[in-house]
Amino acid sequence: MKEEKYAVYFDEDGSCVQVPENTTLLEAQILAGKMPQAYCGGKGTCGKCKVEANGKVVLACQTPVTADTHVRTAGPEKKTQILMTEREQNAVFQAEERFLSMPQPVLAAVDIGTTTVVVYLMDAKTGKLLCMQSCLNPQGKYGADVVSRCSYAMEHGADTLSSVIRNAVNDLLGQALKQSGRGRGDLMRIVFVGNTGMHHLFLELPVKQLVLAPYHPYQKEACVLSASECQIEANAEAEVWWLPNIGGFVGADTVGCILASNLPSCEEMTLMVDIGTNGEMVLGDKNGMIACSTAAGPAFEGAKITCGMRGSEGAIDKVWPDNGKIRYHVLGEGDAAGICGSGLLDAAAAFLETEIIDETGRLEETYYFQENVFLNQKDIRELQLAKAAIAAGIRILCMRKGIEVSDIRRVLLAGAFGNYLDPDSACAIGLLPEELRERIEQVGNAAGEGAQMAALDPSAFETAKKYAAETEFLELALDPAFQDIYIDELEFGPQED
């Protein structure tokens, strides 16, 4: 019997795609090369994939195509703020001898984040950063967080997720090479960092053991592959290097952060935190390091928040109290379309100060910034779950290290969210310990900086292996104290030791 096919027309740009009967509108968008928001991975729970289909507002992931359909979406998402940190030029950079005879060899560093992808292109002779390119991680079409993407890979196979991220990296490398006046044949080495899930999905490795106890990575060791093995378009002799993973969800990106911060040489007790859908943390000094990951969930990325969105035009990114009233700032200075993670954090702090919410997070009634942008009780609860996970992780690390929180002398906030959040708000709601407020440093994309260091200097790649091997890994989910501390940390405001 011949398979029935129908046309799906996208009215915002006039494009069209033919799909088999009962294909969902979300799947049709993906087939058409769109970037729909599907934070829940198509389960129908996040409500972010709403479209207008033949004049009716529906969830794209729950609506099968049974006839020719005209679809109107919100259009392409506004450009998102993507953090790209340029490492300081090393005055004593020494090029590898094999590159000196080449006309214009280049090296690349790639940071594959759950939300964004950043590519850095560097001159292999001088070490100079030539340019940076970035994009949203296209795997977001299959879920906002690592667990939802791993679940998709387990159900449908990892090849789709692997191919879309490799294609995205190839596109970014192509843009960077063109901007720098180079060609694919000039690209000699690409060093990657990313969390353990991004590492496994890129390399198409099994992910089942990441999402099921005891949460072990399939591969921890650093790897060196040919670029062709990874379908990366480069010189025929080019290699792909992945920094090592430390444990389940403490991955190569954390190792990159350790490398960039040189944490193992610190004289003072230092806490490094990368806050995202997973909160990776490393605590230590020259006498040893301990690391963990805590599932903060995607609230800080705008998922599971009713009006949540990424940090793009239209997002409320700052909120503050002013003589008892709530003021806010919108990226792009226009009307608000939603609220991003930094705005959510600020809002909670401002609500606490003005007693719109209390320490338990109780919200008497939905708070409206504008008619279509608001925070409700469910949103506040989602934030509490996320902040409690981070705060509990910090306290558990201190316990296992045998120190008090006040013994931490430096706090390094890495990553995009860590760069854009207001430390005062983070401490006010208890995401970070209040006693550490004056010790916080925002260090940008330290993972990307570490990847650049390893790309430019093979000895840094070896150092990264050493650091990963020396870092003790703590699986919080299996720690008997975690649940009690997590529950204590659900309340807003500073907690008692």
Q: What is the pLDDT of residue 57?
A: 84
- Any domain includes 185: yes
Torsion of CA 430, 433, 434, 437, to 10 degrees: -120
Are 33 and 115 members of one domain? no
Are 63 and 105 members of one domain? no
Look-up of token digits 């879920």: 143
Q: Average pLDDT, stretch 136-141?
A: 90
Q: Which domain holds residue 9?
A: 5-72
| Three-class HEC string of 339-386 | ECHHHHHHHHHHHHHCCCECCCCCECCCEEEECCEEECHHHHHHHHHH
Residue 48 or residue 271, greater confidence: 271
Relative to beta strand 69-72, strand 5-10 is parallel
> With bands split at pLDDT 50, 70 and 90, how would you rate the model's confidence at 495?
low
Are 174 and 45 members of one domain? no
- Any domain includes 200: yes
Are 67 and 117 members of one domain? no
Cβ atoms of 159 and 209 closer than 8 Å: no
Q: Residue 190: what residue type?
A: I
Distance of CA 305 to the CA centre of its chain: 17
- Any domain includes 246: yes
> How many Cβ atoms sit within 10 Å of the Cβ of residue 399?
16
Q: Average pLDDT, stretch 86-111?
A: 85
The model carries a pTM of 0.88
Percentage of the residues of the chain whose pLDDT score is greater than 70:
95
d(CA 450, CA 467): 12
Q: What is the pLDDT of residue 228?
A: 97
Look at 301-305, 352-356, 400-404, 429-433 and tell me which has the smallest mean pLDDT.
301-305
Taking alpha carbons only, the member of 135, 133, 137 closest to residue 145 is: 137
d(CA 302, CA 312): 11
Look at 8-12, 93-97, 241-245, 340-344 and tell me which has the smallest mean pLDDT.
8-12
Q: What is the pLDDT of residue 129?
A: 96
Which region, left, alpha or beta, applies to residue 304 given φ > 0 means left and ψ of -120 to 50 means alpha?
Answer: left
**pLDDT beyond 70 at 458:** yes
Are 59 and 203 members of one domain? no
The pLDDT tens digits of the residues spanning 192-218 come to: 999 999 999 999 999 999 888 778 899
Instruction: Provide the H-helix boundaries in 138-207.
Output: 146-156, 159-179, 196-202
Are 183 and 39 members of one domain? no
At 174, give phi and psi (nearest 5°): -60, -45
Q: What is the pLDDT of residue 88?
A: 57
The pLDDT tens digits of the residues spanning 62-79 come to: 888 888 888 888 655 555
Residue 256 or residue 141, greater confidence: 256
Q: What is the pLDDT of residue 68?
A: 84
Are 32 and 112 members of one domain? no
- Any domain includes 106: yes
Domain count, the chain: 2
Final residue of a domain: which of 258, 290, 322?
Answer: 258
**pLDDT beyond 90 at 13:** no
What CATH code is carried by the domain that includes residue 18?
A: 3.10.20.740
d(CA 285, CA 271): 9
Contacts of 214 (CB under 8 A, 6+ apart): 248, 475, 478
Are 128 and 230 members of one domain? yes
For residue 292, the cross-strand partners are 281
- Any domain includes 238: yes
**pLDDT beyond 70 at 411:** yes
Relative to beta strand 50-53, strand 56-59 is antiparallel
- Any domain includes 83: no
Are 240 and 133 members of one domain? yes
What CATH code is carried by the domain that includes residue 194?
A: 3.30.420.480
Residue 9 or residue 232, greater confidence: 232
Handedness of CA 343, 302, 14, 372 (dihedral sign): negative
Final residue of a domain: which of 258, 290, 311?
Answer: 258
d(CA 148, CA 201): 12
Taking alpha carbons only, the member of 342, 386, 343 closest to residue 361 is: 386
d(CA 327, CA 322): 7
Contacts of 404 (CB under 8 A, 6+ apart): 398, 497
Are 55 and 17 members of one domain? yes
Look-up of token digits 């991003």: 340
Token pair, residue 132, equals: 């940076």
The pLDDT tens digits of the residues spanning 323-365 come to: 989 999 999 999 999 999 999 999 999 999 999 999 999 999 9
> With bands split at pLDDT 50, 70 and 90, how would you rate the model's confidence at 82?
low
Q: What is the pLDDT of residue 87?
A: 57
Q: What is the pLDDT of residue 310?
A: 84
Token pair, residue 308, equals: 């949540």
d(CA 127, CA 189): 13
- Any domain includes 128: yes
Are 238 and 102 members of one domain? yes
Q: What is the pLDDT of residue 29?
A: 85
Q: Residue 101: what residue type?
A: S
Final residue of a domain: which of 38, 72, 106?
Answer: 72
Which region, left, alpha or beta, applies to residue 369 given φ > 0 means left and ψ of -120 to 50 means alpha?
Answer: alpha
- Any domain includes 59: yes
Relative to beta strand 315-322, strand 325-330 is antiparallel
Q: What is the pLDDT of residue 323?
A: 92
**Buried/exposed 126-145: b ≥16 CB within 10 Å, e otherwise:** ebebbbbbbbbbbbbbbbbb
Are 40 and 136 members of one domain? no
